[in-house]
Amino acid sequence: MKHLLLTIAAIVCSVSQLYADGAQVRLSDSSCRLFEQGETITISADVTVEQPERLNLTYVVRDDVGNELERRTRRVKVTSSVEGVAPLRVKGLDAGFYSVELLCEGEKVDFHKFGIDPDAVVSLPDGEADFDEFWAAARRELDAVEPCYTLTECEERSTSRRRFYYVEMQSLGGEKISGYYLEPVAEGKFPALICYLGYGSDQWIPDADATAERVEFYLSHRGQGLNKPTNKYGDWIVSGMESEHTYYYKGAYMDAVRAIDFVASRDKVNADLIFAEGGSQGGALTLAACALDDRIAAAAPFVPFMSDFPDYMNMAVWPANALKPAAEQRGIAYEEMLRVLSYFDIKNLAPNIKCPILMGFGLQDEVCPPHTNFAGYNNLAVPKRWVVFPKRGHDVHNESEWYRLREEFFAEIIHKYNNQ
């Protein structure tokens, strides 16, 4: 499938500095994008001045773990507002993601990231020998728990097109989880979409009249979303990290599977057309659900979390700033922590996914850096494509273009199914 490269005029990630003398300096947008391997990368500055000015402009190029690769200073005379000042040309960088920092007179004024051939980023699976059996056993544990689905209609939110329900069910360990379920009033069987929740997010309340031609289920997994009032886990990312058997995400990933159980049980659902989506933690839950259950027809994760923990620890402040201190406090060696996390690493689950995937990511994302997105994506062996938002960070869910492309992606799957 063809990749989609979109330059979206959205939130500009670079912010220029206004000096007392009236000069404004920022990085040119031309390098805030993805490049092909072997392509020369040209980095330059845009400068606005009120009067002729001599400026010292310094570019600092780093790899995605912060190693400095290039530092070059240009002294320029600017007599008017001009774009593309003092270009720096960089060659020979490997596939991956990089940052460029712009300093003016030694002071940082701008910063952005660029990437090179993300499909060639290599982060091989590092799962333990019992990885597959661990998850097979977890699934058996889940299947032994009676789901006990209960639906309560929220009549004030139901409409003539879809009914709106609050749902509760039992998941792994007898944990009660919940969510919002919307079902068409019309007779028939319909495609279904399961939406997984971002880390610590409040559960969004959907509109019953939107996308009324399908079933939708918005899961609040254990201790999060609608279940926050009964959260017994504290900070979820460190809960139970002493062992893969007690770690929070064993239950959370099984909650994602239980959501599929529930949706597939509904009479109005076409079980061949169950889709999944979610961002950040929700992106990880989406991919985990696809890996652990083959009933998902296609999925559209964006800025997915929980991938490539060994590299993540060196690329982002969070969750390293929670995981490392918690491990030290509990006497867990760093390598043991990574071993436990490997069971929940999306790059290790990715090879088990059997359905088509559309992934969206923000090139400027510092919460779930693009390297980690592709660590899982590049281990997929299914039809797949990605969409990049060059100026976005960890927030492509605000992009209407992402939702349009996601809907078109699901519509392709439905069209193929209907024309078999």
Q: Which residues are catalytic?
A: 280, 365, 394
Residue with tokens 């969750």: 319
Bridging pattern class, strands 4-5 and 68-78: unpaired
Contact (Cβ atoms closer than 8 angstroms) between residue 152 and residue 166? yes
Q: Where are the alpha helices (DSSP H) in 151-280?
A: 248-265
Q: Look at residues 256, 246, 320 and name the one whose alpha carbon lies nearest to residue 284.
A: 256
Query: What order do you get walking across the sheet with 68-78 strand by strand?
Result: 34-35, 107-116, 96-104, 53-63, 68-78
Bridging pattern class, strands 53-63 and 96-104: antiparallel
Cβ count near 303 (within 10 Å) = 30
The CA distances from residue 40 to 6, 43, 83, 93, 100, in Å, are: 20, 10, 19, 9, 15
Which class for 415: exposed (0-12), middle (13-18), buried (19 or more C-beta within 10 A)? Answer: exposed
Residue with tokens 């990885």: 131
Contact (Cβ atoms closer than 8 angstroms) between residue 5 and residue 34? yes
Angle of helix 248-265 relative to helix 281-292, nearest 10 degrees? 70
- Alpha-carbon distance of 104 to 91, in angstroms, equals 23
- Chain mean position to CA 9: 20
- Alpha-carbon distance of 265 to 278, in angstroms, equals 21
Contact (Cβ atoms closer than 8 angstroms) between residue 269 and residue 190? yes
- Alpha-carbon distance of 213 to 92, in angstroms, equals 51
